Amino acid sequence: MKTKQIYECKECGAHSPMWQGQCPQCKEWNTLVPLTVDKKASRSVRSPEPGNAITPLEDLQPENHRARPTGIDALDTVLGSGLVPGAAILLGGEPGIGKSTLLLQLAGKQAALGGSSVYISGEESLPQLRTRADRLGLLGPGLPALATNRVEDVLHILENDPPALLIVDSVQTLASPNVEGIPGSVSQVKAVAQDLVERTKKCGTSLILVGHVTKDGQIAGPKLLEHMVDTVLYLEGDRKHFSRVLRVLKNRFGPSDELVVFTMRDSGLEVVEDPSTFFLGKRDAGLSGTAVAMAVDGQRPFVVEVQALVSKSYLNIPRRTALGLDTNRLHLLLAVLEKRLRLNLSNYDIYAKISGGLATRDPGLDMAITASILSSLLDRPLPEASVFWGEIDLNGQVRPVSAHETRLKQAERLGYSPVHPDTCHTLAALQQRLFGKAG
């Protein structure tokens, strides 16, 4: 036989000659999948390529690897300085969230700046892509595209006339003839990404790969895919809202905790220059169950509204629902409220959400969530112009959170009266300050 079967881990890419319940490399369970390989290819040793030699780092010229601007200033900040030659970027996000729109706008910006770019589409035909570009007002001579599902077509472009920017939408739609399996399988995604990353690093082309996501919100394919690239971006948001948030999950050329807020328009995604009050919207401060929180996501402080609804339950097991928040964190805060303030919440359905379609795991929202729950339970509005931040531990103590001074300066600039750990150290003190001794 010319082929043999081995098993490859879909998480770390490790190989095993036989199936095992646990991967011997990353120790994950049930991640080994069968893979057929060529016996001769598996035994062969790659010979060194001509020109590959050890080079002192000080002899390299930094001008040859200087980053190019994307044409979107906020995106340059997220990436560190722009598009680095030879860098590989992975962009993930749910279907219909705006990944293709953002990348088509980026290709149009590159054309306007005089840079060369090629858009590889494995999901849309060229007429469909032209219709989208026409709707966004991006049609022009400097926007070439190719519709293909063959990775060798893309490699041919890199060998003959490599562009400054190559966009592949998406990596799960391309297939390599050297590897068995359907497009999107673990072996195909790994082989396609490896070929593209290696080739672009040699020719100095900036590569952007679009990655599908699973139902859990994770980028589909082997975890090795995120290790192979230099930057991992994730575009998130609620498709029923106009806001989109571009987060950095990994970045070798800049900060890994930056984000950009976009708003979806007919002309594409537009950057929100000052997102400090973008998610707050119009609110009535005289309603109960609403609290304003000063959140920090990445390095940006912005104001969000936390809403809570506490209503009498007629179910054997009361409902606990969280939107934009961690449900487990909501359960933890409710347990602390029952224990430390001696409240009986077992007969109430409790719902909590962040308005505006934003999702965040900032621990500084604990105090705002607690205040909104108490406000809804007592049906009494919170003090007008109050803003909250602080983490609540299991003992009912309010702890300081990161970027305290940044939150305080932003709150004072916007004219809010801050309620934070320096003013309320415990839940009991918070309750007394908001609603008096009667509670």
How many Cα atoms within 13 Å fall on the side-chain side of residue 326? 11
| φ and ψ of 239, to 5 deg | -65, -15
How many Cα atoms within 13 Å fall on the side-chain side of residue 300? 26
DSSP secondary structure, 27-87, as one string: --BS-EEEEEEEHHHHH--PPPPTT-----GGGS-GGGGPPBP-S-HHHHHHHSSSB-TT-
Between 99-112 and 126-135, two packed helices, what is the crossing angle to 10 degrees?
A: 70
Interatomic CA distance for residues 177 and 192, integer angstroms: 10
Is 93 annotated to bind a ligand? Reply is yes
CA-based torsion, 322, 323, 329, 334: positive or negative: negative
Q: Which amino acid is at 255?
A: P
| φ and ψ of 37, to 5 deg | -130, 160
Is 396 annotated to bind a ligand? Reply is no
Is 219 annotated to bind a ligand? Reply is no
Angle, vertex CA 235, rays to CA 234 and CA 239, nearest 5: 145
Is 281 annotated to bind a ligand? Reply is no
Helix or strand (DSSP H, E) at 207: strand 206-211
Between 186-203 and 151-160, two packed helices, what is the crossing angle to 10 degrees?
A: 10
DSSP secondary structure, 325-382, as one string: S-HHHHHHHHHHHHHHS----TTEEEEEEEGGG-----GGGHHHHHHHHHHHHHT-PP
Token pair of 323 as six digits: 């939107």
With tokens 């609290």, the residue in question is: 291
Is 298 annotated to bind a ligand? Reply is no
Is 183 annotated to bind a ligand? Reply is no
| φ and ψ of 427, to 5 deg | -65, -40
Is 100 annotated to bind a ligand? Reply is yes
Is 125 annotated to bind a ligand? Reply is no
Q: Using H for helix, E for strand and C for coil, what is the string for 240-292? A: CCCEEEEEEEEECCCCCCCEEEEEEECCEEEECCCCCCCCCCCCCCCCCCEEE
DSSP secondary structure, 211-227, as one string: E-B-TTSPBSS-THHHH
Residue set of the binding site for ATP: 93-100
Residue set of the binding site: 93-100
